[in-house]
Amino acid sequence: MIPKGIKDRLRHILHLDETPHLLAKSFAAGVFIAFTPFIGLHILSALVVAWAFRLNKVVTLTGTMVCNPWTIAFIFIGPTWLTVMAMRHVGMDVPPLNYDTVSGHFMFVLESYSVWQARFWVEFLQEFKPYIAAVLVGTTLAGAAAAFASYFAAVKWIWFYRLKKAERRHVRAHGGKEQG
C-alpha cells in the first residue's frame, strides 16, 4: 500500500502540463540523486540539478523520495556489499563487509565521540576508509541503473495515464458511447 502523501505527489505529476520525456527525465534525475551517499544534501542536489538541466523541480524532488527510512538500507548496503565483493574478487585489499565488522567500527567511533564533534567524523572516515570507494562506486552504479529503469517506467506510466484520460474524455464527449 502506498501512503496517501506519496500517492498525492505521484498523481500531481500526472497532471503537470509538460512532456512525458521531461517529467520522466526529472524523476530519473531525482532517483539517481536518492542513491548518492550524501544524504543531507539530497534536496539541495535535486534543486541544483533540476535548475542546471532545466528539469521540473517538483518531480526531481519527488524522485529523491525513493531514499526514505524504508529503503535506505537496501539502497546503500546492497550495492556497497556487491562492490566490496567485486573489489575483493579482483584482488583489492578491502576487508570483508559484514555486520560484525561494520558495527564494531561504528561502535568504536560512537563510544569515543559525539556525532556533533568534528573528531567523530574524522575518526568515522578513518575507520571506514576501506569502504568509501565501494560506497561511492556501488551507489553510483546502482543509482544509474535505477535512474535508467525509472525513466522508462515513468514515461510509460505517464503515456498510459494520458491515453486513458483522453479515452475517458472522448467517451464523455460522445454521450458515454464508444465510437467505433
pLDDT of residue 138: 95
6 or 83, which is more confident? 83
Q: What is the pLDDT of residues 99-142, one digit of tens each?
A: 888 888 888 888 888 888 898 889 888 888 888 999 999 999 99
pLDDT of residue 1: 56
Cell reading at 94: 578491502
Looking at every residue in the chain, the average pLDDT score rounds to 87
Residues 76 and 126: their CA atoms lie apart, in Å, by 19
How many Å is the maximal CA-CA distance in the chain?
75
pLDDT of residue 88: 92
pLDDT at 16 over 90: no
DSSP assigned state of 53? T
Cell reading at 146: 535505477
Q: How far apart are the first and last CA of the chain?
A: 37
- Average pLDDT of the segment spanning 68-90: 91
Q: What is the pLDDT of residues 31-65, one digit of tens each?
A: 999 999 998 899 999 999 999 999 999 999 999 99
pLDDT over 90 percentage in the chain = 46
Residues 70 and 127: their CA atoms lie apart, in Å, by 26
